[in-house]
Amino acid sequence: MAAAFKTSGSFCSTQQHQWLQSTRDQILHGSSHSNVKQCKSKKIKKPFPLCVKATSSKVELDFNDPSWKQKFQEDWEKRFNLPSITDIYDLKPRPTTFSLKKNRTPTGDGNVDMWNGYVNNDDRALLKVIKYSSPTSAGAECIDPDCSWVEQWVHRAGPRKEIYYEPEEVKAAIVTCGGLCPGLNDVIRQIVFTLETYGVKNIVGIPFGYRGFFEKGLKEIPLSRHLVENINLNGGSFLGVSRGGAKTSEIVDSIQARRIDMLFVLGGNGTHAGANAIHEECRKRKLKVSVVAVPKTIDNDILLMDKTFGFDTAVEEAQRAINSAYIEARSAYHGIGLVKLMGRSSGFIAMHASLSSGQVDVCLIPEVPFTLDGEFGVLRHLEHLLKTKGFCVVCVAEAAGQDLLQRSGATDASGNVIFSDIGVHMQQKIKMHFKDIGVPADVKYIDPTYMVRACRANASDAILCTVLGQNAVHGAFAGFSGITSCICNTHYVYLPITEVVKAPKRVNPNSRMWHRCLTSTGQPDFH
Ligand SMILES: Nc1ncnc2c1ncn2[C@@H]1O[C@H](COP(=O)(O)OP(=O)(O)OP(=O)(O)O)[C@@H](O)[C@H]1O
Ligand SMILES: O=P(O)(O)OC[C@H]1O[C@](O)(CO)[C@@H](O)[C@@H]1O
Ligand SMILES: [Mg+2]
């Protein structure tokens, strides 16, 4: 019998409890042994690892069973196993053409490979490094009621000694999907550089996201080191982006017709879901194609990884808006600076920009409900701030407080919900409130919208993009497909896409980072 998961109750708020429950679900979700379908086919060598569906039911673990940890880890190993073209083909690898040393001189011990910094397929990185002694510890992610330490290893990224493609015969394609994000050009550039280092001559860009695969009149763009040399100096995407219109079978028809061997897909969670669908369809058709994703999104809302590229830059730009709001508010009589920031379903940009600026008195994110009116509402706190310090700054994430607004019901081309405007709503509510109570208030509203993402990557994102782009190419040459190249716990790793698209990552209200944000703003609970 599966043990029920209990958080040791009395110290746990409802919000914390829900969070603990959902993080546990994320850890355990989709990995029951009984759900590993053996997809047998005469032509294929092994069962498809991807037949473990991301949507399958939860792990049945009996925590009274002394071997539960071992069972968990065996299951984990299966879930995080990297899908490879060698799962379907009996392929012989060849020595890599990627060498860091151009003029190699043997040491005498015969081991020239050591100098090339190759990564072994058995190398792993630890995904989690904190041992929580209780489910009520800040940010605790627990598997069992005692919050036991369980090793969770993931595969290390980087160049392998042996590869599964002849570089001279490879056609590689790059596509950028979803919204814009700082660093797209840096990644495109590094993918091209690395492919050329392996000896690939046929590299193309697919214009305007997945649309470029099927929209007539959109031609692929031949890419070379020479062409992409300087593209990182500008924001945007050299290839263009788009939302919506992804039809997996048409995309794979197009991949087949164009004879693409490697596809590099840069995008957020929607793009990743699309990339995995393409990978699965390629497998179904027995195509020798490696599909490798690179996680891009200013929202930082993809599971398991430390951060997505573009996030740092967006935060830096966002805190400029906050600093302007601060200057305006500080210089006005009873000034209130209000800034609305992007973030589709998560408050990471708002939280980090509030932390980095240090000038925010109230930070509102979708993960933490709040009320505007009443004794414990935001408006009453703003009154207090005007009275005590004379001005204040509020930062609100675009997805926050949607329960206070009429839902628009609208969606974008990819099916993402379009939010009602919490920024404009708050601006009006604040103005009305202070008018009603007869207290002067000078509200300055700033909505930087696309300014936080339509810019070039900052230094830290540029480095992240460089590493992720290079590793994406190493992953494809190593034969992996249906994987994403990312950073986990400060180490560069590959994860199966199925594991990162289970749900959007959201701010944990029980995390140290949110607590730090609260310490910095000094805001009370607003409900
Ligand atoms: N579940 C899915 N399966 C297949 N394709 C998808 C899926 N979800 C989204 N896509 C496709 O992926 C592309 C990008 O999706 P989306 O617009 O949601 O952006 P995203 O990758 O999440 O990035 P951003 O962070 O900018 O929102 C679109 O062309 C969309 O049609
Ligand atoms: O480019 P669009 O379609 O206006 O999308 C805006 C959305 O894209 C993002 O910038 C990235 O997902 C979100 O923060 C924002 O909600
Ligand atoms: Mg998305």
Task: Return the pLDDT at 109.
Answer: 53
pLDDT, average across residues 500-507: 96
Determine whether the annotation assigns residue 234 to a binding site: no
pTM of the model: 0.89
Q: Is the complex ipTM more than 0.90?
A: yes
Q: Which atom of ligand 1 is nearest to the CA of 272?
A: 21
Q: What's the pLDDT tens digit per position in 347-402?
A: 999 999 999 999 999 999 999 999 999 999 999 999 999 999 999 999 999 999 99
DSSP letter at 480? B
Ligand closest to 248 (CA) is 1
Q: Which atom of ligand 2 is nearest to the CA of 419?
A: 16
Mean pLDDT comparison of 38-52, 108-122, 363-377, 408-422, highest-scoring range? 363-377
Question: Of 102-116, 467-481, 482-496, which range is least confident?
Answer: 102-116
Pocket test for ligand 2, best of 299, 315, 349 (most atoms within 8 A of CB): 299
Determine whether the annotation assigns residue 297 to a binding site: yes
pLDDT, average across residues 491-515: 97
Confidence band (pLDDT; 50, 70, 90) for 245? confident
Question: For residues 326 and 393, is the Cβ–Cβ distance under 8 A?
Answer: yes
What angle, rounded to 10 degrees, do the helices at 422-436 and 378-389 form?
A: 60
Task: Return the pLDDT at 5.
Answer: 30
Task: Return the pLDDT at 246.
Answer: 74
Alpha helix (H) ranges present in 363-448? 378-389, 422-436
DSSP letter at 518? H
Contacts (Cβ under 8 Å, ≥6 apart) of 206? 173, 174, 175, 212, 213, 220, 239
What angle, rounded to 10 degrees, do the helices at 459-477 and 311-331 form?
A: 160
Q: Give the closest residue to 190 by CA, choosing from 491, 477, 474, 486.
A: 474
527: its two tokens = 């409900």
Task: Return the pLDDT at 105.
Answer: 52
CATH number (3.40.50.460, 3.40.630.40, 3.40.190.10, 3.50.50.60) of 311-455 reads 3.40.50.460
Residue extents of the structural domains in the chain: 162-308+457-501, 311-455
Across 394-425, b (16+ Cβ under 10 Å) vs e yields: bbbbbbbbbebeeeeeeeeebebeebbebbeb
Q: Quote the radius of gyration of the chain (alpha carbons, Å).
A: 25
444 sits in which H/E element = strand 442-446
Centre of ligand 2 from the C-alpha of residue 427, in Å: 21
Q: Is the pLDDT of residue 344 over 50?
A: yes
Across 197-211, b (16+ Cβ under 10 Å) vs e yields: bbebebbbbbbbbbb
Centre of ligand 1 from the C-alpha of residue 500, in Å: 14
Same fold yes or no, 162-308+457-501 and 311-455: yes
Nearest CA to ligand 1 atom 4: 274
Task: Return the pLDDT at 33.
Answer: 30
Task: Return the pLDDT at 167.
Answer: 98
pLDDT, average across residues 166-180: 98
d(CA 30, CA 56): 5
Pocket test for ligand 1, best of 184, 254, 271 (most atoms within 8 A of CB): 271
pLDDT, average across residues 235-264: 96
Question: For residues 341 and 397, is the Cβ–Cβ distance under 8 A?
Answer: yes
Alpha-carbon distances of 348 from 80, 312, 345, 356, rounded to whole Å? 26, 10, 9, 12
Q: Say if domain 162-308+457-501 classifies as CATH 3.40.50.450.
A: yes
Q: Is the pLDDT of residue 39 over 50?
A: no
What is the share, in percent, of the chain residues with pLDDT greater than 90? 81
Question: Of 7-11, 368-372, 442-446, which range is least confident?
Answer: 7-11
Question: For residues 339 and 331, is the Cβ–Cβ distance under 8 A?
Answer: no
Across 140-157, b (16+ Cβ under 10 Å) vs e yields: bbbbbeebeebebbbbbb
Q: What's the pLDDT tens digit per position in 100-140?
A: 776 555 455 555 555 668 999 999 999 999 999 999 999 89
Question: For residues 205 and 174, is the Cβ–Cβ distance under 8 A?
Answer: yes
Determine whether the annotation assigns residue 103 to a binding site: no
Q: Is the pLDDT of residue 238 over 90?
A: yes
Confidence band (pLDDT; 50, 70, 90) for 405? very high
249 φ, ψ (degrees, to nearest 5):
-65, -40
Average pLDDT for the chain: 88
13: its two tokens = 């708020």
Task: Return the pLDDT at 89.
Answer: 87
Alpha-carbon distances of 370 from 322, 358, 375, 394, rounded to whole Å? 21, 21, 12, 13
DSSP for 214-282, please give it: HSTT---EE--HHHHTTGGGSSS-TT----S---HHHHHHHHHHHT-SEEEEEESHHHHHHHHHHHHHH
Question: Of 91-105, 363-377, 444-458, which range is least confident?
Answer: 91-105
Centre of ligand 1 from the C-alpha of residue 413, in Å: 9
- Which residues is 205 bridged to in the sheet? 174, 221
72 φ, ψ (degrees, to nearest 5):
-60, -45
Determine whether the annotation assigns residue 390 to a binding site: no
d(CA 61, CA 348): 33
d(CA 340, CA 275): 31
Question: For residues 503 and 26, is the Cβ–Cβ distance under 8 A?
Answer: yes
d(CA 384, CA 334): 11
Mean pLDDT comparison of 26-35, 59-68, 263-272, highest-scoring range? 263-272
Task: Return the pLDDT at 306.
Answer: 97
Q: Is the pLDDT of residue 16 over 60?
A: no
Q: Is the pLDDT of residue 10 over 50?
A: no
Centre of ligand 1 from the C-alpha of residue 507, in Å: 21
386: its two tokens = 């005007």
Task: Return the pLDDT at 527.
Answer: 85
Angle made by CA atoms 348, 351, 354, in degrees to the nearest 5: 140
